[in-house]
Amino acid sequence: MEINPAVTFKHDRSIMYAKRPKVLIVGAGLGGLTLGMLLHKANIPFEIYERAAMVKPLGSAMFFNSTTAPLFKQCGIYDEFLSIGKFLDAADLCTEDQKVAFSLGSRGHEEVFGAKGYIVARPQLYDLILRQIPTEHFHMNKKVLTMEQGGNGVLVRFSDGTEAEGDILVGADGAYSAVRQNLYEKLKKENKLPATDALPLPFSTVCIVGQTRPLTPEQFPNLEREDSVFSRVMGTDKMYSWDTFTTAQNTVCWDAVLYLDENTSKDNDTFRNSEWGPEAALAMCEEVKDFPVVSGGDKKLTLGDLIEWSDKGLISKVMLEEKVFKTWYSCRTVLIGDACHKMNPSGGAGASNAMHDAIALANRLNGLPFHPIADEIEAAFKEYQNERIEWVKAAFENSKMMRNVVGKSMSSMITRAIIKRVPAWLMRKMESQQYCHRPQVAFLPLVEDKGTFRPSPQPSLAVKAPQEKTAAKSTTESTANSPI
């Protein structure tokens, strides 16, 4: 396939077969998988390309609430999601002597916003969504080298010598997205890239994450509780905070976050891990092994105990970059998830926002006409970014604030003092600004939202598939051409 940027097709759709655009998704994280699951349900042709040679159950736990419940319900996986998740009533911020300094709770969340919040281990959720996608659409060991796009399509070349052709390219390949880098390189040569988008990804923290094997309540007493116990410990004289989450599988997910200063930022600058992997994790495990964890009761445990109970090959060290890019699309290429907005995980909003991207983008792709030209595709991408950008910015600022809650600066101490004194009514008002965004998939049966606080407007929910738009026109044309 030869891509000619100067070529722009003008289709006579009245004489052409009704063809949906083929979508190439680069990156098989939660955002890319969610988009693939939705395109499969919309009968839009797609392929997913992942650079890793195999899927590994890496990562810790994630929090999902009413903002993703409609998606899971529409896709028919909500009951299974509940079976692998554990209800989270509150997040406890603790001191090193295991005392709760204050709690950030979700009590009454279901009545007000329509669904409870749940902690779920990342590997279990990943597997659940992966099983919704036919295996023939999934391609491993596909590292992107170059991409081309133009009026007649997109072409992606991989390091194994193969190529993929399509109509639309979606970069869902993380903070160091190869798709974004290729796209930005071309835009920069054309003087179309904002200066801030060309800057390196900033980061202020480094994180190590892992998950234990299944444990007993005797080993970790908090596992006996029906709800998930989320404890975040703020180091007294350490530039660290560390978390533990209990899961429905009787495992303990854990992490430790290092807050960087000028010197440690330089030390870690050479470590830009664009993949979740164990290579750089062992030294950091040694640094945090003596940190005390909240296990429940009088049980005295440290992160070293959790590390000992974890598969060492599945412990990962990752950078926690933070940035919202200005450029999300150009021509036939568009970005979702961490590829266009990387959030600090302290806010627990990275995965859910990637899924929200997938919903908004799938709605727009489903509304494209048959045989869409590049201008129509780019217009859909513009509407997608317009719908998502303010929600992303709000989640980004909230994530920064939550990171600051457990930081080591004077600003962090002030933030903690303020949050502890925020009245309940004001906290609920602040929550409502996040949880009112409960998007649904336009081409699947809508689910009833029982929250007393109504969901915010969703522009892409009104987008219809092309056959619905053209049915009346086709009937009119047939009548007009009839000899009677």
Sign of CA dihedral 163, 169, 170, 175: positive
Spatial separation of the C-alpha atoms in residues 22 and 376, rounded to whole Å: 14
Output the pTM of the full model.
0.89
* Tokens (6 digits) for 143: 């590292």
CATH topology for 19-87+121-200+323-407+434-467 is FAD/NAD(P)-binding domain (3.50.50)
- For residue 424, what pLDDT band results from cuts at 50, 70 and 90? low
* Contact status, residue 415 vs residue 336, Cβ threshold 8 Å: no
Which neighbouring-strand residues pair with 105? 90
Q: What is the C-alpha to C-alpha distance for residues 70 and 446, in angstroms, rounded to an integer?
A: 8
386/395 Cα distance (integer angstroms): 15
Q: What is the pLDDT of residues 94-137, one digit of tens each?
A: 888 888 877 776 566 788 888 999 999 998 999 999 999 999 99
Closest C-alpha to 439, from 418, 422, 463, 403 = 463
Determine the Cα–Cα distance for residues 118 and 230; give it in Å rounded to an integer: 11
Mean pLDDT on 176-198: 96
Q: What is residue 349's DSSP assignment?
A: -
- pLDDT-derived band at 184 (thresholds 50, 70, 90) equals very high
CA angle (24 as vertex; 18, 29 as ends), nearest 5: 135
In this predicted model, what pLDDT tens digit does every residue of 191-221 receive, in sequence order? 999 999 999 888 878 889 999 999 999 999 9
